[in-house]
Amino acid sequence: MANRFEQFAAPGVRRLAPYVPGKPPEQLERELGITGSIKLASNENPLGPGPHARAALAAALAGVGMYPDGSGHVLRARLAAKHKVSIGQVTLGNGSNDVLVLLAGTFLTPEHEAVYSQYAFAVYPIAVQASGAKAIIAAANPADHRMPLGHDPAAILAAIGPRTRIVFLANPNNPTGTWLTGPELEELVRGIPPEVIVVLDEAYHEYSAGMGVPDGTTLQSQFPNLVVARTFSKAFGLAGLRVGYTLSHPDIADLLNRVRQPFNVSVVGLAAAAAALDDGEHVEATLALNRRGLARLREGLAALGLAVLPSAANFLLCDLHRPAAPVSDALLRRGVIVRPVVNYGLPNHLRISTGTAEQNERVLAAMAAALAEGA
């Protein structure tokens, strides 16, 4: 039924389709009357938070009757020290999703354009459309490229025009897992005019750093228009707490802070994130588990005759060469939730996050059964 208030909504909102998150296990279990399902659909850390973050979280509960420190001083100071920047260069968000939306709201108007690659992370189109700006989509690499479906720097540069105000880049990208190398990234950023804000989304940085993916923050002294977004949702295992941040020129941070909600990160989020930064052991354990998971899933999927794209993250994009929806449904019936990516224009692919060793075996067994039944 038509929405009776739609005509009164801002034009960008009228055409907007909401983000479709991974299906929560509770919902699947309710729908199918099953128990014991697993979710490898949202690129979370199967270990969850580490012991430092858990302890800080428990201790912070006593403080939830009070508003958080709106400036997030302690966490920002820790992040500034870690990244060797000034505290004024750190802006906190309710997840990095929040800072991505803040950037769009700060720099885009209906007069402007924002550029991003085909198959880039789904939050960019939503943030751009809601701002009323026009999205210009740069064609991605072809399927037979070294980085299939990944960002094509030449296409991105060609898409930039006089109205462009933001370029969104995800490195590595979700859902493809593909990445730009150091030289590719540097050349791309160098080619973008200085009045265009480059939003470099490094949500998977902790995973990707050991896999040959550059650290975008090393380019920031050369390029003041380069904003790097990071998150505690992935390798730090705090997705449910919603903490992310940007590192940027302090003048960009100043603008973001004008529109940022004053209490956008919770008391528990601030405390757990600051503690998580100290827990190098947990991050190491997470990265080791992910390395094993990627290798096992790659090998297991290949044994089933399935192709996967290169990935520098904690997930793989699997090309089924046939419609993925029936396979996804067959996996759901076996209590395994992975991510269909038809919303990205990829009806034949499924994105699978790495899990624990047991979860990885379960998804492979379910996939084998789904294929055997002709899904």
Ligand X SMILES: Cc1ncc(COP(=O)(O)O)c(C=O)c1O
| Site of interaction with ligand X (CB under 6 A) | 43, 95-97, 121, 170, 174, 201, 203, 231, 233, 239, 244
Q: Round to whole Å and give the CA distance between 139 and 153.
A: 10
Least distance from C-beta 30 to ligand X, angstroms? 24
Spatial CB neighbours of 335, under 8 Å, sequence gap ≥ 6: 28, 29, 32, 34, 35, 36, 37, 38, 366
Cβ atoms of residues 239 and 17 within 8 Å: no
Nearer to ligand X, 107 or 344 (CB): 344
Query: Which CB, 231 or 330, lies closer to ligand X?
Result: 231
**Rounded least distance, CB 231 to ligand X, Å:** 3
92 versus 252: smaller Cβ distance to ligand X: 92
Give least dist CB 113 to ligand X, A.
21
What's the closest the beta carbon of residue 97 comes to ligand X, in angstroms?
A: 3
C-beta of 128 vs 375, nearer to ligand X: 128
Contacts of 168 (CB under 8 A, 6+ apart): 100, 114, 115, 116, 120, 121, 124, 128, 199, 201
The dihedral region occupied by 43, where left means phi > 0, alpha psi between -120 and 50, and beta the remainder, is left
For residue 327, the minimal CB distance to ligand X (Å) is: 22
Query: At closest approach, how far in Å is the CB of 366 from ligand X?
Result: 23
Q: Distance of CA 325 to CAs 45, 189, 330, 370, Å?
A: 25, 37, 9, 11
156, 138 in Cβ contact below 8 A? yes
Residue type, 360: N
The partner residues of 49 in beta bridges, in order of sequence, read none
Nearer to ligand X, 95 or 335 (CB): 95
**Cβ 242 to ligand X shortest distance, Å:** 6
Q: Which of 12, 95 has the CB closer to ligand X? A: 95
Looking at beta carbons only, is 176 or 360 nearer to ligand X?
Answer: 176
Q: Shortest gap between Cβ of 169 and ligand X (angstroms)?
A: 10
Q: Is the dihedral angle over the CA atoms 48, 49, 51, 56 positive or is it negative?
A: negative
CA separation for the pair 128, 131 (Å, rounded): 5
Minimum distance from residue 244 beta carbon to ligand X (Å): 4
Q: Which is nearer to ligand X, 201 or 206 (CB)?
A: 201
> What beta strand segments (E) does 210-310 contain?
226-231, 244-247, 307-308
The radius of gyration of the chain from alpha carbons, rounded to an integer in Å, stands at 21
Continuous H helices in 20-66? 25-32, 51-60
Closer residue to ligand X (CB): 107 or 245: 245
The helix or strand, by DSSP H or E, that contains position 255, with its residue range, turns out to be helix 250-259
> Residue of minimal CB distance from ligand X?
95
C-alpha torsion angle, residues 219, 225, 228, 229 (rounded to 10): 180
